[in-house]
Amino acid sequence: MEKVIGIDLGTTNSCVALIENGVPTVIPNRGGYKTTPSMVAITEAGKRLVGHIAKRQAITNAENTVYAAKRLIGRKWTSPQVKNAVATSSYRIVQGPHMDVRIVLRDKEYSVSEVSAMVLQEMKVIAEDYLGQPVSKTVITVPAYFNDNQRQATKDAGEIAGLDVIRIINEPTAAALSYGFGKNVEKTIAVYDFGGGTFDISILEIGSSGVFKVVATAGDTFLGGEDVDARVIDWLVQGFKTEHAIDLRQDRMALQRLKDAAEKAKCELSSVRDTEINLPFIISSGRNEALHLQRTIDRQTLEDLSSDLIERTIDICQQTLLDAHLDKQDIEEVLLVGGMTRMPKIQRMVADFFERDPCKGVHPDECVALGAGIQGAALTDDKHEMVLLDVTPHALGIMTQGGYFEELIPQNTTVPTHRTKIFTTSRDHQTAVKIVVMQGESQRAEENELLGEFILTGLRRAPKGSVEIEVTFEINADGIVSVHAKDLETGKEQSIEVTASSGLTRDEIRDMMEDAKDYMVERRSTEEFEAAKQEAERIVGEIERLLPQVEQIVATSDFGRDAIEKARSIVTKARAAIGRRDLAAVKSEIEGLSRTHRMFKGVVAKTH
């Protein structure tokens, strides 16, 4: 039977693995290394270089060497992440024809998927050399927090590389598979994955029947080791500027050398207390003399530079536990994944947070690829009695009247799954609705990712709200989303299989929203609105009950009068929102009302 390889397509390094004679094994590259830099370069002669060989020549060929392409994959040109990358990368990033991102190497534009495909192809070759036979099937890992467009772009990269991507799985999930493989355990584990470009946290339950159930997953796709490097670079650049009044960022080659040096120093500081950064002839002073950069950095400095980034990861852990209704005590094992977890401060903070020492049993650089290999074997080989119950990392829903996002499948829902909701028309005599399928957590549609759209036509001409449309979302085991809309009156149906794409911008979505106004549906919100209304009215009642007391207590101070004024205006706004029957507004007013109520209670309690 044909082997399925698992590929960890990392931001900085990639790794390939498979199951060999029942043992998950990492395949070393020709140089004997188990991981390969995710770098691609084109030489002056037009030769393509991938991996270590590309990394080695990066300094002298900075403009034509791509690193961290993963940060750009599946993203839109207008996204802040891309803007940031354009400003800080030593290679050129330009706008593609579909508002997508292109990378310029030797005057030729490449899509990000193409660049990633070059890395994947290299991994494929490594596996084929090792096995002595062709390989076509693969499981590729992505950060848990990747949205569908990023996942699709990764799949596209696999296809470009000539691979059949049988499944995309999440990196922390893969790490958990490699941890639990062959062990007959029942445990709830947390996987803290701090890699080169992304941070992910996943909570999984491992069951005795070879079942791995993802309970919750969260993360930040723009928080990684590269950000720590950037802090070190900043520190070096600032120091150099103070000393020589020269901005090293202006020089692409200097920037590339700084980048290398910063990464190296960061890694060294995991094992030593201090290290020297020595970059001779970094730049010309402009007065015909060469300047050198020479500085010592100690572990404390690195920790200070990166402490807010690390704290952010701990905050995300906290939030994830909360969302999953779990206590720290429920976590029976903590896995550390990704190169950044070698940093002693991170190990300390994670251990402090979870109140337990992290597991030493998994290799932070290799376990993701191993897990991908395990999933590949589990899917294709009946010998492996193992099944992974994954979740959808982002909520799925549709855009409704007023540009709101109405969720149908919540975040962290186990797939396969399906959900149905009923919507109504939002205009009188509306004969068509546009179903705009989106992904994300924001209440505002425009802040979420657009996945696709279609139009359901032939509705009965009727006053708004009287034609009902049933919308069903379905995610199958392969992660493919399909959406059906049905006119409950005529039984007429429309559906699409959502194939994620990149290509539309926020502006386009906004424009489209304008165009589509007549098409929008409205949530049949009576129940939800009534609930929100009752809640809001209850708090308003409480506030008004306390108001005379509070007034008596604080009316003497300007601050107090101001607070009362604010409280009144919140109550007025809430009433207005109720009057407009604006569910989203009522919901958001409830927050303000609750705050005011808490404050009032506090004031009254203090005085008594």
Sequence-ordered list of residues with C-beta below 8 angstroms from that of 450, at least 6 positions apart, any chain: 436, 437, 438, 504, 509
- Whether 428 sits among the annotated catalytic residues: the reply is no
Taking the least distance from each CB to another protein, the nearer of 359 and 389 is 389
Q: How far is the CB of 463 from another protein (least distance, A)?
A: 7
Q: Is the dihedral of CA 235, 229, 342, 311 positive or negative?
A: positive
DSSP class of residue 459? P
Q: How far is the CB of 65 from another protein (least distance, A)?
A: 38
Half-sphere exposure of 296 (CA within 13 A, CB side): 5
Q: Which residue reads 């400095």 in tokens?
A: 301
- Active-site residue (options: 3, 55, 70, 486): 70
Q: How far is the CB of 294 from another protein (least distance, A)?
A: 56
Sequence-ordered list of residues with C-beta below 8 angstroms from that of 232, at least 6 positions apart, any chain: 262, 265, 266, 297, 302, 305
Q: Is the dihedral of CA 225, 230, 231, 235 positive or negative?
A: positive
Return residues touching another protein (CB under 8 A). 166, 186, 205, 207-211, 213, 325, 378-380, 385, 387-389, 414, 416-418, 463, 476-477, 527, 530, 533, 578-579, 581
Q: Quickly list DSSP for 413-424.
A: EESSEEEEEEEE
- Whether 360 sits among the annotated catalytic residues: the reply is no
- Active-site residue (options: 100, 171, 446, 522): 171
Sequence-ordered list of residues with C-beta below 8 angstroms from that of 545, at least 6 positions apart, any chain: none
Taking the least distance from each CB to another protein, the nearer of 178 and 375 is 375
Q: Cα 248 to the chain's mean position, in Å?
A: 31
Taking the least distance from each CB to another protein, the nearer of 237 and 469 is 469
Q: Which residue reads 């704290």 in tokens?
A: 311
Taking the least distance from each CB to another protein, the nearer of 164 and 311 is 164
- Whether 8 sits among the annotated catalytic residues: the reply is yes
Taking the least distance from each CB to another protein, the nearer of 476 and 552 is 476
Is residue 465 left, alpha or beta, with left meaning phi > 0 and alpha meaning psi from -120 to 50?
left
Taking the least distance from each CB to another protein, the nearer of 52 and 587 is 587
Amino acid, single-letter form, for residue 422: I
Structure tokens at 604: 């009254």
Q: How far is the CB of 597 from another protein (least distance, A)?
A: 20
Q: How far is the CB of 37 from another protein (least distance, A)?
A: 32
- Active-site residue (options: 8, 200, 229, 446): 8
Q: How far is the CB of 594 from another protein (least distance, A)?
A: 20
Catalytic positions, please? 8, 70, 171, 193
